[in-house]
């Protein structure tokens, strides 16, 4: 068990620190403690990170680690860890390593045999899902979709049958085209949750049928500004029994009593035992 009274490991480590998405108060006490104590903070944008550090009175040494120098930065970080330094890594906002630079950096550090420690905190996915009211519970994080419509629709088509809600990131210059493709692929009935500028001054979170989304954006040009999390509710549950469940039930009814056939068909197909039992009664009544 790690010693929770210590912010840093005794072994030199890379600390992946979640930083605020917008509101500078959305940072944990542990994150602040780590940023104060490490030897260097690797940052996607050193100017942006300097503002955060200055706001909290932290005088950490900074180095750049972004998508254009990620391999070089990884080598430098590994060298620092090797000589015993402690290093933190932050992105511009939220937790890095998903749609931010950092995944390859973390992989390189792990391959070199150094510990990588998560310092949890702000996350656009978690923030949006927490207020989306997803009654079915589960969600599937997709992230950014392909930038071109054809590839985007192909990716979406593969997700049409997903029962869990689908969570996407999108940039302002593509959000209208993406919403149009969501409507084309998923149809007008699915609900869309738009979470825009989370934790920032113009934060906006709305829920609507996909059919209404284009009109909603058209009502105010400011609605296409900022960074977006888009959530589409999952595929509705199938009504009735699938063709496979019907086939299995019919075969079993030829060989065994009704109740046992329904129970075994449920075990084989995963369909509702009650629905199979009711269907078996219908089939038997039709035979009489």
270: left (phi over 0), alpha (psi -120 to 50) or beta: left
Which pLDDT score is estimated for 4?
Answer: 47
Sheet of 191-196: strand order equals: 139-144, 165-170, 228-232, 191-196, 204-209
Q: How far is CA 259 from the centre of its chain?
A: 43
Please report the pLDDT score of residue 271 as a whole number.
84
pLDDT at position 241 is 81
Query: Sign of torsion, CA 221 222 226 231?
Result: negative
CA neighbor of 276 nearest in space, from 250, 237, 238:
250
For Cα atoms 184, 187, 190, give the angle at the middle one, nearest 5 degrees.
130
Q: Which tokens in the block code for residue 144?
A: 């950014």
User: Quick one: pLDDT at residue 97?
Assistant: 62
Distance CA 239, CA 229 (A): 30
pTM of the model: 0.78
Report the alpha-carbon distance of residue 234 to residue 129 in Å, rounded: 13
Question: What integer pLDDT is reported at residue 270 of this predicted model?
Answer: 85
Contact 152, 181 (CB under 8 A): yes
pLDDT in the model for residue 169:
95
Distance CA 187, CA 207 (A): 16
**What confidence score (pLDDT) does residue 1 get?**
43
Q: Which residues of the chain have pLDDT under 50?
A: 1-2, 4
């Amino acid at each position: 068990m790690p010693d929770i009274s210590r912010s840093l490991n005794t072994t030199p480590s890379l600390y992946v620190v979640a930083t605020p998405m917008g509101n500078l108060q959305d940072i944990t006490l542990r994150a602040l403690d780590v940023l104060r104590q490490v030897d260097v903070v690797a940052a996607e944008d050193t100017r942006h990170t300097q503002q955060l550090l200055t706001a909290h009175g932290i005088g950490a040494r900074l180095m750049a680690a972004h998508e254009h120098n990620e391999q070089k930065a990884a080598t430098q970080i590994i060298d620092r860890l090797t000589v015993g330094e402690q290093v933190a890594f932050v992105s511009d906002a939220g937790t890095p390593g998903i749609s931010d630079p950092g995944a390859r950096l973390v992989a390189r550090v792990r391959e070199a045999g150094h510990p990588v420690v998560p310092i949890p905190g702000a996350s656009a996915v978690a923030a949006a899902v927490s207020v989306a009211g997803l009654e079915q519970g589960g969600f599937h994080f997709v992230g950014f979709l392909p930038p071109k419509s054809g590839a985007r629709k192909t990716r979406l088509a593969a997700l049409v049958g997903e029962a869990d809600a689908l969570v996407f990131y999108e940039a302002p210059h593509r959000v209208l085209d993406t919403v149009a493709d969501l409507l084309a692929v998923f149809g007008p009935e699915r609900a869309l949750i738009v979470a825009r500028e989370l934790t920032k001054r113009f934060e906006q979170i709305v829920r609507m049928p996909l059919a209404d989304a284009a009109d909603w954006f058209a009502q105010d040009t400011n609605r296409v500004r900022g960074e977006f999390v888009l959530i589409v509710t999952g595929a509705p549950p199938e009504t009735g029994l699938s063709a496979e469940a019907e086939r299995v039930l019919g075969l079993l009814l030829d060989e065994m009593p009704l109740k046992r056939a329904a129970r075994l068909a449920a075990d084989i197909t995963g369909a509702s035992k009650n629905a199979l039992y009711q269907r078996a009664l219908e089939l038997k009544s039709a035979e009489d």
